[in-house]
Amino acid sequence: MRIAVLGLGSVGYGLLSSIVDKHPNLTITGVADSKSAGINPDGIDITSLLAQKKETGICGDPSLTARDVVTHAPYDLLVEVTPTDAGTGEPAYGYIKEALSRGAHVVTSNKGPVALYYNELHELAQKNNVSFRYEATVAGAIPILHVMQHDLLGNTITALYGVLNGTCNYILTRMAEEGLTYTQALAEARELGYAEADPTYDVKGIDAGIKLVILANTIFQKNITLNDVSITGIDLLTDDALRLAEHQDCTIRLIGEIVPGTDLFRISPRIIPKNHPLVVKGTLNAITISTDMAGDLTFIGKGAGSIETASAILGDILYISQGKCMD
Ligand SMILES: NC(=O)c1ccc[n+]([C@@H]2O[C@H](COP(=O)([O-])OP(=O)(O)OC[C@H]3O[C@@H](n4cnc5c(N)ncnc54)[C@H](OP(=O)(O)O)[C@@H]3O)[C@@H](O)[C@H]2O)c1
């Protein structure tokens, strides 16, 4: 399988490192970052490429671009791991459309194009008889989409509840356990690199809302946008609220909720008993799926991280390369 990779930041670098270590049979024929690109139909030496990226900050020839890779490199599968633009989905949306139109499979960790254009991209993939997979867009290393699309196919899913944002979960954990104020906990999260310099998307619940849109549209066949999700973030939460919850042996978590068959799509801080399976600590994510046959299933794991996200991407790549799917 010949693979082109767009984006060599945290996720792209982690992915290529794990391909070198564990799956050297995968051939990388194209790579690109924001300032350069490389194409080699016989396969790029990934170890040298990673060293070059580390030393110089660029992965290839500055006269080439990601678009050159998408349109000129020979590849069977495009991995799209450039930054998310939740407003336009670009540049990923354009890259993904082009690759699917050329008859290549696409795997992405980029929430923007999936949340905004899933139906169009899914139809384009079907029309060209290729796969479009995006496991890494929701809950990082937790293979939640695959479980619902394949392993639970015989079940009816009656509800889904999830802790979908590690930054918020870290802040809430620290407020509850150390008595920190929201501002103190956010400052700590920033220092540790868990929160962006501008944490708006995370703390206002927008990032979790985008993940809920992806789940609703791709798993529950809805056709919703972020405007259909009722969103309350954690930015206005007081330490008093957490203390009050503590008195009832409860705590607060930012919970995403989908109840199929209703129009309930909600992200909000919820008071839940401390022994509830969704009360995970630190930057962990957790998702509980209620089903008619299997009962309640809870999945807990890392929602972000270079290698953890690469795990989900690699799972999609290998699933496709083994010829197991065209969905
Ligand atoms: N990090 C995580 O844990 C995680 C988890 C789940 C999902 N995601 C998603 O995965 C994607 C990648 O995340 P990341 O953390 O790896 O981001 P990142 O560290 O910011 O890396 C982004 C990469 O994309 C490159 N890039 C930027 N604009 C580009 C363009 N127009 N064309 C081609 N390449 C371009 C950057 O180039 P330079 O190297 O030249 O700057 C960089 O290599 C994002 O959509 C993110 O939301 C990340």
Could you read off the pLDDT of 76-116 as tens digits, one per residue? 999 999 999 999 999 999 999 999 999 999 999 999 999 99
Domains defined along the chain, listed by start: 2-141+306-321 (3.40.50.720), 145-302 (3.30.360.10)
Q: What contacts 3, CB < 8 A, 6 or more positions away?
A: 26, 27, 28, 29, 30, 75, 76, 77, 78, 79, 317
| Confidence (pTM) | 0.96
Residue whose CA is closest, atom 18 of ligand 1? 9
List, in sequence order, the alpha helices (H) in 179-264.
182-191, 200-203, 206-218, 239-247
Mark the ranges of the chain whose per-residue pLDDT is less than 70: 324-327
Q: Two tokens at 153?
A: 């196919």
In degrees, rounded to 5, the angle at the alpha carbon of residue 113 between the alpha carbons of residues 111 and 116 is 100
Of 8, 81, 316, best ligand 1 pocket probe by most atoms within 8 Å of the beta carbon? 81
Average pLDDT, the chain: 96
Instruction: State residue 91 phi and psi, 5-degree precision.
Output: -80, -5
Q: Is 15 in the pocket of ligand 1 (CB under 6 A)?
A: no
211, 222, 274, 302: which is the annotated catalytic residue?
Answer: 211
Q: What contacts 264, CB < 8 A, 6 or more positions away?
A: 257, 258
Of 6, 16, 34, best ligand 1 pocket probe by most atoms within 8 Å of the beta carbon? 34
Of 33, 192, 211, best ligand 1 pocket probe by most atoms within 8 Å of the beta carbon? 33
- The one-letter code for the residue type at 292 is D
Q: How far is CA 68 from CA 38, 44, 62, 183, 190, in A?
A: 9, 16, 11, 45, 36
Could you read off the pLDDT of 182-236 as tens digits, one per residue? 999 999 999 999 988 889 999 999 999 999 999 999 999 999 999 999 999 999 9
Q: Is 287 in the pocket of ligand 1 (CB under 6 A)?
A: no
What's the pLDDT at 199?
94
Ligand 1 centre to CA of 246 (Å) is 38
Q: Two tokens at 151?
A: 């392993």
Ligand 1 centre to CA of 120 (Å) is 23
What's the pLDDT at 196?
85
The answer to whether 211 is a known catalytic residue is yes
Q: Is 6 in the pocket of ligand 1 (CB under 6 A)?
A: yes
Q: Which atom of ligand 1 is nearest to the CA of 10?
A: 16
Sign of torsion over alpha carbons 88, 91, 96, 99: positive
> What is the C-alpha separation between 163 and 161, in angstroms, rounded?
7
What's the pLDDT at 324?
66
Strand duo 250-259 + 264-273: pairing: antiparallel
